[in-house]
Structure 1
Amino acid sequence: MNRVKNTVGAMAATVLLGAFSVPAAASTSSDAEAAANPAYRVLKHLDYSGPGKASLRVGYYDRTHDKGFGWNKVKKKHNITKYSAVEYIAKSPNRNRVGNSTTYHMTGYAGKYRCRNGVCTLVKQYKMILSVNEKVQRDGQDKGVITMYCVGVVRCPNWVSTTLAKENRSLAASDEGTVPEEDAPDNSQAPSDEVVDEADLEDENTPMDGGAPADEGDAVDGTETYLSSYQPLADSVSVTAPTTALTASGRERLAASYSPLAWTVPVSATEDRYRYAGSYNRLR
């Protein structure tokens, strides 16, 4: 009799354990999938001209099918390599909704001037478009950055990222939870549950002039000044145009503005705060 009771008790325990083991297995499977594909992981919350912050997620870029979103697409397809470059455009006051969707486009400009005889002439200008989808995801945050690119070319030249990033005013280093760019995972696999909105399929990177080399105007000879703005840049500026940073060479200058850039500004307003002088008499 005791043997029968023990057998029944063992069978009941087995059934109960089996019932409890199903959710655990499902949870493990879900966790494994999330670990295998980090596309929805947020790398940084960007300052944004729209409501709240814009999420910059790991995303993915499938080069074979030319599909993706987020940091991996921005970096791998369009050669935008700085979070701050993306954030500068995210703060643009030029914010337009795409149809009746939850996707918005922010725009700005990055340009290269060649300076000779006191005048800097615009030799290259790219219109920048950043696409942000505000649709809330399962984690309670927006899908965020879909793509960012230079209109006219697939891959932006390196100086575009540098120019935009130098002029971004965000204190990125203090953003809690930000994943450093060098630690952002590479990902080429789409998440299995991704829903792609039609408004996010637009990616205008076909050269405007099919007969012009993609790198025309991108050559560097040391006389360049790089500027960015939320409005189209002027065709020429004085060599004393506003500057906020110098490259290592000391000859390439970077500047940006939330309004059209001034043609000239006093040198004292743009140079370093310190001056060095030598004299045979006591300095005053």
Structure 2
Amino acid sequence: MKRGAVLVTLLLSIVTGCFVPTATAAAADGSTIVFQWKNTEKRSLFVRSGAWNGNKGFGWVKIQTKHNIHKFQTLRFISNNPKGATFQGSDALYEAYANKKVCTDGKCTYTDSIPVRLVMAFEYVSNYYGVDINGTLGVKTSYCIADDRSGDCPDWVDLAFAGTVFSTSSDKYPSAMTTTVEMSYSPRTRLSD
């Protein structure tokens, strides 16, 4: 009976906000490192949960919310570009390409090749966009390089890491059409296969 009373009290405390579990508090902290890896240059890279207010911010929440990238593997692929990074101050810029290929009746054409950039900051910061960091900032952002400078990635870009295939056919159009998306370190403007 005592165990049940403790459980009910604990649940009521959580629901009413009188008690916040440590894991929940840490998850809400923008300085928390949510993904970490080493790239092919043996550099340690990481992305913090970050902050985003609709106009400015950094980290994983900005990458997901503003730029529509939702897979950590996409960030890792971009940072593993064999050409390495180019630097702007203490920011390392890595790039890769998300490519879309459409095949109809065995004839294939690349229809889109979008550059995707990752910006890693190796600088020490104490506070960034209202978040206490007190260390190396990490990945500032990752986004698609588009003519309209929005940085928004189409949904298929985040699927490109997995080499996702979409197929469509119907009675009206019996020939099979497949669309494949993939990532590469150079743009695909023609078929190489």
Alpha-carbon distance change, 231 to 223 in structure 1, aligned in 2, over 3 angstroms: same
What is the SS of the residue equivalent to 2:64? helix
Partner of 1:223: 178
Gap regions ≥5 residues in structure 1? 1-30, 168-218, 238-262, 265-284
Partner of 1:232: 187
Partner of 1:131: 119
Question: 1 CA distance for matches of 2:100 and 2:27?
Answer: 41
Instruction: Map Cα deviations across residues 51-76 of structure 1 (whole Å, 9 max, x no partner).
Output: 5311110001110xx11111011000
What percent identity do the matched residue pairs reach? 27
- Structure 1 counterpart of 2:181, one-letter code: Y
Give the number of the structure whose residues are more often strand, by fraction: 2
Q: Is the 8 A contact 1:49 1:93 kept in 2?
A: yes
Partner of 2:79: 90
Q: Is the 8 A contact 2:93 2:119 kept in 1?
A: yes
Alpha-carbon distance change, 220 to 143 in structure 1, aligned in 2, over 3 angstroms: farther
Partner of 1:143: 137
Q: TM-score, normalised by structure 2?
A: 0.68
How many residues align structurally? 150
Gap regions ≥5 residues in structure 2? 1-21, 127-132, 169-176
- Structure 2 counterpart of 1:158, one-letter code: D
Q: TM-score, normalised by structure 1?
A: 0.48
Alpha-carbon distance change, 140 to 46 in structure 1, aligned in 2, over 3 angstroms: farther
Question: 2 CA distance for matches of 1:97 and 1:140?
Answer: 22
Two-structure CA RMSD over aligned residues (Å): 2.7
Q: CA deviation at 1:111?
A: 0.9
Find out whether 1:78 has 2:75 as its counterpart.
no
What is the SS of the residue equivalent to 1:127? strand
What is the SS of the residue equivalent to 1:223? strand
Partner of 2:58: 69
Question: 1 CA distance for matches of 2:65 and 2:186?
Answer: 27
Matches within 5 A, 1:238-257: none
Partner of 2:154: 157
Q: Is the 8 A contact 1:46 1:90 kept in 2?
A: no
Q: Which has the larger radius of gyration?
A: 1
- Structure 2 counterpart of 1:234, one-letter code: T
Aligned counterpart for 1:48 among listed residues 34, 39, 47: 39
Question: 1 CA distance for matches of 2:47 and 2:134?
Answer: 14
Partner of 1:109: 97
Q: Is the 8 A contact 1:92 1:107 kept in 2?
A: yes
Partner of 1:57: 48
